[in-house]
Amino acid sequence: MVEPKIENVRKVLVVGAGAMGSQIGLVCALAGYDVAVQDISPEMLDKAKEQLSARLNRNVERDRNSREEADAAFGRMEFTTDLEEAARDADFVIEAAVEKLDVKRDLFARLDRLTPEHAVLATNSSTIESSRIADATGRPDRVCNMHFFNPALVMKCVEVVKNPETSEATVATTVALTERIGKEPVVLNKEVPGFVANRILHALANEAISLYENGVASFEDIDTACRSALGHPMGPFELMDLTGIDVAYYVRNVKYERSGDERDKPARSIVERYERGDLGRKTGKGWYTYDSSGRKVPS
Ligand SMILES: NC(=O)c1ccc[n+]([C@@H]2O[C@H](COP(=O)([O-])OP(=O)(O)OC[C@H]3O[C@@H](n4cnc5c(N)ncnc54)[C@H](O)[C@@H]3O)[C@@H](O)[C@H]2O)c1
């Protein structure tokens, strides 16, 4: 068995060119790595290319990158539908494909056959722990979660989550890569649903909803308390409107399906909004109401 080492990482393969994968690819390219972004959809690859190029142009206009840096980073990126070709010389894989267990298991089985033996196979999944994928490969010791936050170009935190078989060399390599691409690693020694940051966020949101449903305070005032007393950039209800009430609804249903605990079910006020189609900013109404330019309308 060949142990992974950060010194051997030259090329990163990102699987999935969606919201997360495309930005993760650019983060790695800006740090000097050769990057292949692979997707089954040529349209998603075209869209990713277009958005990243526009993003780099904006960075140059705002003096965040020089023209040379931006061009060099983009020049280090390739966009392809050919997994076999992209995986052949990949030293580190970050899988950011659609959140479906069977798709990820199939991908990891193929990546195990296609990549060099030393390559770490990491998944960016938010809800699928790598132990549920690792046994589809012949290298479970080189599999872990490497969980970025949205938008990946901006957010600093990356959670590195060990599964029971993840080797220390895999954790060390993943932590070192996280640092080299300018992010801050948070290592989880064991798998827990939601990992650390989202678990805390979820607990906060549930407490906020419970205070609201019990008539303790209005949701507007609870948001104010989180902003002005706790220093959060936005309150839990404002955040729910941004990420989508449908997401809040699905996440709680998945948690309930897995735990069977009635307390994990989506709260009444979430179900009501979900059933009315008041899904937050994207529908113009959630907890708050928004005008066509996305500004909050005073209630
Ligand atoms: N969106 C977020 O806020 C966020 C944050 C952290 C982590 N994640 C995780 O990142 C992953 C991707 O999420 P996203 O929001 O970027 O999704 P997305 O829907 O924007 O992109 C998913 C991409 O995967 C591609 N895809 C589907 N099947 C594939 C396959 N077999 N091979 C290659 N590509 C395939 C799709 O064509 C699509 O481009 C998920 O695992 C999710 O849990 C998402």
Residue 18 alpha carbon to ligand 1 centre in Å: 5
Among 188, 220, 250, give the residue marking a domain's end. Answer: 188
Of 20, 84, 144, the residue with max ligand 1 atoms within 8 A of its CB, to mutate for a pocket test, comes to 20
8 Å CB contact between 13 and 79 = no
Position in ligand 1 atom list of the atom nearest CA 103: 31
Between CA 20 and CA 27, with CA 26 as vertex, the angle to 5 degrees is 85
- CB count within 10 Å of CB 275 equals 9
Identify whether residues 97 and 156 lie together within a single domain.
yes
Per-residue pLDDT, 165:
98
Q: Whose CA is nearest to atom 2 of ligand 1?
A: 150
Domain boundary (138, 166, 188) is at 188
Contact 21 CB / ligand 1 (< 6 Å):
yes
84 catalytic, yes or no? no
47: tokens are 């869209």
Q: How far apart are CA 26 and CA 146, in angstroms?
A: 16
Q: Which domain holds residue 164?
A: 6-188
Summarize the annotated binding site for NAD(+) as residue ranges.
16-21, 39, 99, 104, 126, 150, 282
* 218/267 same-domain check: yes
Quick one: which H or E segment has residue 86? helix 83-87
Report the pLDDT value the prediction gives residue 299, as an integer from 0 to 100: 76
| Longest Cα separation, the chain | 63
List 22, 130, 131, 147, catalytic entry: 147
CA distance 89 to 174: 18
pLDDT averaged over 10-residue windows placed end to end, the chain, 299 residues: 93 97 98 98 98 96 96 98 98 96 98 98 96 98 97 96 98 98 98 94 96 98 98 97 93 90 95 98 96 88
Residue tagged active-site, from 65, 125, 126, 145: 126
Instruction: Indicate if the alpha-carbon torsion angle 271, 147, 239, 43 is positive or negative.
Output: negative
Residue 298 burial (CB < 10 Å; 0-12/13-18/19+)? exposed
What's the pLDDT at 114?
Answer: 98
| Residues 19 and 162 reside in one and the same domain | yes
- CATH number of domain containing 265: 1.10.1040.10
The whole-number pLDDT of residue 2 equals 86
Cα radius of gyration (the chain): 21
